[in-house]
Amino acid sequence: MMAQRQRENREHHARSGWFVPVGTLLLALALRMIWVHDPGCPYDIPFFVRWMRLAAQHGVAQAFTVAKSSYPPLSVYMLRMLGLFSSTGTIDAAPMPVELLALRVAIIFFDLVAVAVLYRLGQRAAGRTTATWAALLYALCPGGIYLSVWWAQIDAWFVLPMLLGVWWLSQRRVALAWAALGLAVGLKLQTTILLPVFVVGTWRWCGLRRLVIGGVVLLLTVGTIVAPLFLNGGASVLLSKTTQPMRSLQWIALTSHNLWYALTPHARAVGHAVNRDQNVFVSGVSFHDAGLTLLALSYGLILGRLFIRSGPRAAFAACAVAWLAFFTLATRTHVRYIFPALALMLCAGFYQRRWWTLYGVAATTLLVNLVSKSLGVSPLSRTLAITPDQAVATAWVNVAVLGLASAFYVIPLLKSAYHQAGLEGILRKVEHGWEVALFGVAGVALLATTGAMFWRGRTVGAQIAQLQAPLRASLDASLDGADEPGRAVVVNWPGAILAGRSAFLLGVIPVTPPALFLTTPDIVERGATWVQYPPWQQAAGLEIEYYGTHVTQAELATLVQQAERVVVFNPQIGQMIVLAKDQPTVTPSACLVSFDGQACLTVAQAAWREPLLQIELTWQVTGTLPADETVFVHVIDEHGNLTAQADGDPAGSLVPLASLETPSRALYESRLVFVPPGNYRVRVGIYNRASGERLRTRCGPSSVCVDNTVEIGPLSSGS
């Protein structure tokens, strides 16, 4: 009788056990259906729909080459399947309701599967009650619902295999764990931040042989995903596009409420787009390098703890801390990058409930982060308002979450191995001398690397401080001398230099080469002043980069030609100089030198500005000048040898000489040439780039012409 009753109880529990997970899934589905017909985020949804159409109609390769997809191939393969629901052949048409529905249904499906997986994992790890709460917490996460349904971001796609991979790692099922990690990487490149945890965890808990097996499985998985593109010759475009976010998010804070958002009030005040992470944070170290240093130290803590003493169930806590550190400490991050840490914290809570407290805090800050980013177009804008003070407070809360998570992660080491084994399973501890030596070498290497970075930073910082010392006074004088200083356009200038000025701040100086520059306005009015600072511009090839989009030299030239005045700070002399400016036109009879009656030079003079020779010229086109005609400037020493030259169109080759013809325009330009101290003459002329032939010169009474050039000098450095 007793046995029969126990069997009936087990059958009853088995039948009733379906109610909780099914009810949780239905609740999760109902909450996500609220916004399923909302137009959604107008920023990102059109990008996804365009990728869907391109991939479905023209192949996956086109989604990378034409649509500039920055997602790995597996995400694009899935978007291609969703693109089959599209009934339009127009790639750039507005998203159709059926397309938006297909995209959201696919995201919701993965969300619901993640809820079910969390329930199953919790049931196996800690029982039905724990599983129920874990599934409910994930299903009810407001930030997750907002991100997946209204924003229609596909993060849920990679969270699922990532979660399964960490679970299988905690169960020491190496091949499955690494295959799942490969799938997650194929969906979102950011999951590579978990790779060090997988490497050290597999080695310590399963041995080197199985680590090799895991690495092979990862390579095979990723190789299978990228093979179709590689076979079609798309390797280079795939690498370029999938790594684009690391290049395009080059800001101190991209409105992500992390450490750098909290520490940079100027970035918050004027917008992230003028605060590159190459700017100095402390002791000459850039924000970018400081973030990488802190991230490296955080990873050292995570991996060191796994190496010293750990059990496989510590995988969830290690991965959660790693993801929180990536979001909080890296400068190039995004508002939604904290989302994957939530599922990892829930799983870490299977063994220590304190992680669920951190989950609740992080889930709240995620919603604040997302709403703050999208408030202008969000359906929540009528009910929520995120003030700047609240955003800063949220950033500090996220920093505190990382600190507490790190403490939760390290605390088991302070207790007995017996107590730790109860939480993490069979422990692997440092027991051999070679392990101690390896750990010591790794620690020394980490500290030496970070120390070298700060030493380099101090050197760069000293150079920048010396470089910037004369900037303020020189800029003030230049802006005060402009006709309309309030309309000055300033490019590549540190924000602190312009504090209190009425100039339009457009950019900042990157403090660590290679230089990257911000964009320029589409239209520069003729009355505007153009200020530019290019200490490393030659190395950048006059190519400006803004938000991952390049402004070419030709585009920059168009803007400069529309400007009335171009001012440059030269770091070698520590002063602002006028690179180019409009001048009143003169009659041909007033020419100092005439070049075949087609071009007129009205001013030609040179002077020493140690350690440079400054040549000042004023050009006017008086005839029809072919496009290949350009200027050459040769510096000749006292023995008749060519010592230096500054050839090219005026204004740093940004204003073609022929462009001065229509409308008729006289342009003053200044060229700086470095030559050693001595005695020199400068010869200026016009030649044809294609043929090399020089235009004939006819000099006025106050000028000297030699070999179809006008000669300036002699000039002595006074040395």
Q: What is the DSSP string of 102-152?
A: HHHHHHHHHHHHHHHHHHHHHHHHH-HHHHHHHHHHHHT-HHHHIIIIIS-
Decide if 3 is inside a domain. no
In this predicted structure, the answer to whether residue 715 has a pLDDT above a threshold of 80 is: yes
494 and 599 housed in the same domain: no
Burial of 141 (0-12, 13-18, 19+ CB in 10 A): buried
Residues sharing a CB contact under 8 Å with residue 528, sequence separation 6 or more, in sequence order: 484, 487, 488, 489, 562, 563, 564, 565
Give the residue-averaged pLDDT of 339-355. Answer: 96
Cα distances from 280 to residues 45, 275, 287, 470, in angstroms, run 36, 10, 6, 18
CA angle 149, 19, 13 (to 5 degrees): 150
Looking at the predicted structure, is the pLDDT value of residue 534 above 50?
no
What's the pLDDT score for residue 564? 76
Q: How far is CA 374 from the centre of its chain?
A: 19
Minimum mean pLDDT range among 142-146, 228-232, 603-607: 228-232
For 581-605, the pLDDT digits (tens) are 888 888 888 889 999 989 999 999 9
Is the domain of 407 the same as that of 277?
Answer: yes
Domain boundary among 438, 462, 486: 462
Q: Is residue 685 part of a domain?
A: yes
At residue 508 the predicted structure's pLDDT band, cuts being 50, 70 and 90, is: very low
The confidence score (pLDDT) of residue 232 equals: 76
Evaluate whether residue 451 is within a structural domain.
Answer: yes
Q: What is the pLDDT of residue 539?
A: 32
Q: What pLDDT, on the 0 to 100 scale, is given for residue 167?
A: 97
Q: Output the pLDDT for position 10.
A: 53
Give residue 159's pLDDT band: very low, low, confident or very high (50, 70, 90): very high
Report CA 308 to chain centroid distance, whole Å. Answer: 35
**Which region among 173-187, 474-488, 522-536 has the lowest average model confidence (pLDDT)?**
522-536
Average pLDDT, rounded, for the chain: 82
CA dist 193 and 297 (Å) reads 14
Percent of the chain clearing pLDDT 70 (strictly above):
79
* Residue 399 structural domain: 249-462
Report if residue 315 sits inside a domain. yes
Burial 53-84 (b: 16+ CB within 10 A, else e): bbbbebbbbbbbbebbbbbbbbbbbbbbebbe
Question: How many structural domains compose the chain?
Answer: 4
Is the predicted pLDDT of residue 542 greater than 60, yes or no?
Answer: no
Q: Are residues 299 and 182 in the same domain?
A: no
Same domain membership, residue 628 and residue 535: no
> Residue 645's domain is classified under what CATH number?
2.60.40.2060
In a domain, 1, yes or no: no
CA distance 399 to 453: 23
- Identify whether 415 is part of a domain: yes
Distance in angstroms (rounded) separating the CA atoms of residues 244 and 70? 6
Kindly state whether residues 545 and 601 are assigned to the same domain.
Answer: no
In a shared domain, residues 453 and 520? no
Task: Categorize the per-residue pLDDT at 514 as very low, low, confident or very high, splitting at 50, 70 and 90.
Answer: very low
Which of 180-184, 206-210, 266-270, 514-518 is the least confident region? 514-518
Q: What's the pLDDT tens digit per position in 679-702? A: 999 999 999 998 999 999 999 888
**187 in the same domain as 73:** yes
Residues 647 and 542 in one domain: no
User: Which tens digit of pLDDT belongs to each residue from 482-497?
Assistant: 555 444 444 444 433 4
Are 100 and 217 in the same domain? yes
Q: Do 191 and 93 share a structural domain?
A: yes
* More confident: 285 or 617: 617
For 450-478, what is each residue's pLDDT tens digit? Answer: 888 788 777 766 665 665 566 666 666 66
pLDDT range class, residue 529, cuts 50, 70, 90: low
- Range among 141-150, 504-513, 566-575 rated most confident: 141-150
- Which of residues 572, 598, 619 is at a domain's end? 572
* 11 domain-assigned: no
- Check whether residue 57 and residue 152 sit in a common domain: yes
The per-residue pLDDT for range 623-681, each reduced to its tens digit, is 888 889 999 999 999 888 999 888 989 887 788 888 888 778 899 998 888 888 889 99
Query: Which tokens go with 294?
Result: 């802190």
Query: Which of 443, 462, 481 is at the close of a domain?
Result: 462
- Please report the DSSP string for 183-208 in residue order: HHHHH-GGGGGGHHHHHHHHHHHH-H
Q: Is residue 5 in some structural domain?
A: no
| Same domain for 221 and 261 | no
Secondary structure of 511-556 in HEC code, one letter for each residue: CCCCCCCCCCCCCCCCCCEEEECCCCHHHHCCCEEECCEEECHHHH
Each residue of 161-178: pLDDT tens digit? 999 999 999 999 999 999
Between 266 and 696, where is the model more confident? 696
